[in-house]
Structure 1
Amino acid sequence: MEEKKEEKKEEKKENEKNGQLRNWAIFSGIAFQMGGTIFACAWVGKKLDEKYPSNKNWFTIGFVLFGVAASLYIVLKQLKSLNK
């Protein structure tokens, strides 16, 4: 009886450890995804500004803002699915 209780405690600790590692991996992946999305949008905006020059870098500004908004939308959608 005692051994079963100890096994359950060890199993519970191991499950908690695996859950924490899984969450860490998911959240770090989200950070890289956000960074990649914003970087890609900034790169596209910069290339368009080089091709169509103006007094300000409107394409870069617009695409970076779009990238931030899209990243936030995707992150919120992923967090919502994680909480289910």
Structure 2
Amino acid sequence: MMEEERKKPNSDNSKGQSYANFAKYTGVAFQMMAIIGGSAFIGYKIDQYYDHKVQYVTAIACVLGVFLSIYQTIKQLKT
């Protein structure tokens, strides 16, 4: 009977850890969406203000937002 109890994983601890990981990674995903969406919105507003026919500021802002969000994600997941 003692061996059976030792072999059982602590389900409460592993369940709590999995919820913590889920919350952490979900927060990272929402943060990435906010950074990319915010930079795209700013780029769009700049293009709209200057009345650009080709929205190159939006494209540049989106690419910079993607790089910034990837950098931020790697920085967060290292710790």
1:53 to 46, 51, 54: 51
Consecutive unaligned residues in structure 1, runs of 5 or more: none
Structure 2 partner of 1:69: 67
Provide the rounded CA distance (Å) in 1 between the counterparts of 2:50 and 2:25: 38
Measured in 2, the distance between the counterparts of 1:50 and 1:66 equals: 19
Output one character per residue of 1:3-42: Cα deviation in whole Å (capped at 9) or x when no partner.
xx84xx57x2211100000000000011100001111101
Runs of 4 or more, structure 1, over 6 Å off, are none
Could you tell me how far apart the structure 1 residues matched to 2:51 and 2:60 are?
Answer: 14
For normalisation by structure 2, the TM-score amounts to 0.86
What percentage of residue pairs aligned between the two structures are identical?
35
CA distance in 2, matches of 1:74, 1:36: 12
Q: CA deviation at 1:54?
A: 2.6
**TM-score, length-scaled by structure 1:** 0.81
Q: What's the offset of the Cα at 1:75? A: 0.4
